[in-house]
Amino acid sequence: MRRDNENPQHLRAFLRGSAFVVLTWNGSDPNPHGPFEAWAYHGALDFDAASPLTFGVGEDPLDALSALDCLLGSLDVVQCCGRCPATRTLGDRELATILAALRFHQAENLQSGADIYDLDIRDIATNAGTITPLNFEEVSRLCERLNSCGDNKATDGLTVNPPHQESGKEPLFRVVYTIDLNAASPSEAAKQAYRTMIAPDSLPPVLDVLDHLDQVTRFDLSDERTEKGGEKP
């Protein structure tokens, strides 16, 4: 680390959880603070599953890591469970307000995928132009993490994330089929579920359909009843 930050305590604490850091060099369009970027990711070493949290910029790798250490300290993530931003000190109403603000920002400023037109909001989202703002999908993942960690307890069960926003003529949906059955093992349960799905005499199922805004519509195909805005599975 550079001389003004010999003890990267925030970065060390961050890496003790389920997290990793990636160093990159952006020579084609460097940041005014330097071409090196140190990205912090929540999750296992899997770019399809992990979520970017923030990144630091510098003239060399050590500068970028030092900047990242400072940003992690300002985000107060080091005392968290390693999976989400610091929610331990947030009350239910505070967390609900943060989620509402994130969803509003997502719908108003990120829907088109273009730059954030509101200069004040852009300044906040980019930390005065020093970081890249979260895109539409990244805000969705952040809301999921806040929701899963808001009770300060480890989350059990399965979380289904919404699909990404499709740029083609037709929107992209994620269809969830849920069934409970007895089986000797998870593998046998999966096979039984598949046999049930393709059996010609099976009853039409209940399906939950998610759009990219995380809105859920439940279809009961047995009687074509629909519940809009239902709970996520």
DSSP 110: S
**Residue 52 token pair:** 């970017």
Please give the Cα distance from 176 to 222 (Å, whole number): 16
Question: What total of structural domains would you count in the chain?
Answer: 3
pLDDT of residue 21: 92
Rg (CA), the chain: 21
Same domain flag for 78 and 17 = yes
Last residue of a domain, one of 156, 184, 214: 156
Same domain flag for 79 and 90 = no
pLDDT of residue 55: 81
Please give the Cα distance from 40 to 131 (Å, whole number): 12
pLDDT of residue 7: 62
Establish if 162 belongs to a structural domain: no
Q: Position of tokens 């400023």?
A: 109
pLDDT of residue 44: 79
Q: State in Å, rounded, how far the first CA of the chain is from the last one.
A: 45
Q: Residue 23: which domain range?
A: 1-83
pLDDT of residue 84: 42
Dihedral of CA atoms 161, 163, 164, 166 in degrees, nearest 10, equals -170
List the chain residues with pLDDT less than 70: 1-7, 29-31, 74-91, 148-159, 223-233
**Residue 211 token pair:** 């759009």
pLDDT of residue 91: 66
pLDDT of residue 143: 83
